[in-house]
Amino acid sequence: SRPNLALVGATGAVGTVMRDIVSNRADIWGEIRLVASPRSAGKVLKVRGEDVVVQALVPEVFDGIDIAIFDVPDEVSAEWVPVAAERGAIAIDKSGTFRMHADVPLVVPEVNPLDARQRPRNIISTPNCTTLSMMAAMGALHAEYGLQELVVASYQAVSGAGVAGSARLYDEVEALAGDRNVGQVAGDVRQILDKKLPADSPFPAPIAFNVVPWAGSLKEDGWASEELKLRNESRKILGIPELKVSATCVRVPVVTTHSLAVHARFERPVTVADAHRVLTAAPTVVLVDDPANGVWPTPLEVVGTDPTYVGRVRQAIDFPNTLDLFVCGDNLRKGAALNAAEIAELVAAEL
């Protein structure tokens, strides 16, 4: 019989994309149960064209469920993922809670699908959206040339901070619209926004007309959590514990789709032509790289699609065996819901 799937966190930014993805991919599921906080229980949402009533997150909601995908805050996952697993479901968790646990695999299906089979706790983690936005491309290049070092700058979309993140960008743009003098005097945008909008922005500075060199929470020595996730998760997914990674994560006024500027050093020599060949052959990567004709990926051309897009592939002039490239991936699709759905399909194929 077909496996039953629960989507926990069905009403959030990723949950909404998740419902769209499971409705439009090959339908392998029996029941699809929608689960959310008691506050959202009772809402009616569409999945596979049918109305489904959202159920409250209680232990019994996992009865009869084979696979449960969680997209909820870290502390909710910490409490509820083990409950689902103990009740017999295989839990696929999008939060940061279990990603680095040695007994929980961290899976990107096109890079390390076999890791999904080693799941002693019945928990599989799916990476942070920033890591995922580049992983299909970097995994393909690593397999051929042996990755040794990554230096990354991210350009992260506001929807990475959830529904509230997108709402804040739209509100700020609206508050500033029509004023052709803003952004020309230090601090002017902040002053206008302070007057017009609530102070509870998910971002530590104005995000409209700006770039903010901060994503996530403060960790030791001035690092942002997003930067450390990029490092630690890349090492685990690629299976390179010694991989050297340094990242700067930046929030930009883009609604959805994270971009990354990647400087990658390999063990073996690699030409641009080699890299183009490898990236073209990778099934979930799209190469968009014709600078003479102004062709490279941008978030606005990528949003709402599934692949990882790569362009601006160059051989670093002063660094041997090193490529510079630009990657874009929809942070709510491959960066979140799609990767979780692909892991669920991988696991369902074993059941």
12 marked ligand binding residue: yes
Residue 61: alpha-carbon gap to chain centroid: 26
| Site for ligand 2RA, residues 58 to 97, rule: CB under 6 A | none
Smaller CB distance to ligand 2RA: residue 62 or 155?
155
130 makes contact with ligand 2RA (CB under 6 A): yes
| Site for ligand 2RA, residues 106 to 125, rule: CB under 6 A | none
Smaller CB distance to ligand 2RA: residue 255 or 348?
255
Active-site choice (142, 249, 258, 328): 258
Among 129, 254, 313, 328, binds ligand 2RA (CB under 6 A): 129
| Site for ligand 2RA, residues 148 to 167, rule: CB under 6 A | 156, 160-161
Judge whether 129 counts as a catalytic residue. Answer: yes
133 marked ligand binding residue: no
Smaller CB distance to ligand 2RA: residue 19 or 94?
94
One symbol per residue from 196 to 215: x for binding ligand 2RA (CB under 6 A), - otherwise; what is it?
-------------------x
Smaller CB distance to ligand 2RA: residue 126 or 284?
126
259 makes contact with ligand 2RA (CB under 6 A): no
**What secondary structure, in 3-state letters, does the chain show?**
CCCCEEEECCCCHHHHHHHHHHHHCCCCCCCEEEEECCCCCCCEEEECCEEEECEECCHHHHCCCCEEEECCCHHHHHHHHHHHHHCCCEEEECCCCCCCCCCCCECCCCCCHHHHHCCCCCEEECCCHHHHHHHHHHHHHHHHHCEEEEEEEEEECHHHHHHHHHHHHHHHHHHHCCCCCCCCCCCHHHHHHHHHCCCCCCCCCCCCCCCECCCCCECHHHCEHHHHHHHHHHHHHHCCCCCEEEEEEEECCCCCCEEEEEEEEECCCCCHHHHHHHHHHCCCEEECCEHHHCECCCHHHHCCCCCEEEEEEEECCCCCCEEEEEEEECCCHHHHHHHHHHHHHHHHCCC
331 marked ligand binding residue: yes
Smaller CB distance to ligand 2RA: residue 115 or 233?
233
128 makes contact with ligand 2RA (CB under 6 A): yes
160 marked ligand binding residue: yes
Active-site choice (101, 129, 142, 276): 129
Among 71, 226, 233, 274, binds ligand 2RA (CB under 6 A): 226
333 marked ligand binding residue: no
Judge whether 328 counts as a catalytic residue. Answer: no
For the chain, the first-to-last Cα distance in angstroms comes to 10
13 marked ligand binding residue: yes
What are residue 261's phi and psi, to 5 degrees? Answer: -95, 120
- Residues annotated as catalytic are 129, 258
Q: List residues binding ligand 2RA (CB under 6 A).
A: 128-130, 156, 160-161, 215, 226
Residues annotated in the binding site for substrate, as ranges?
156, 251
Binding-site sequence positions for NADP(+): 11-14, 39-40, 159-160, 331
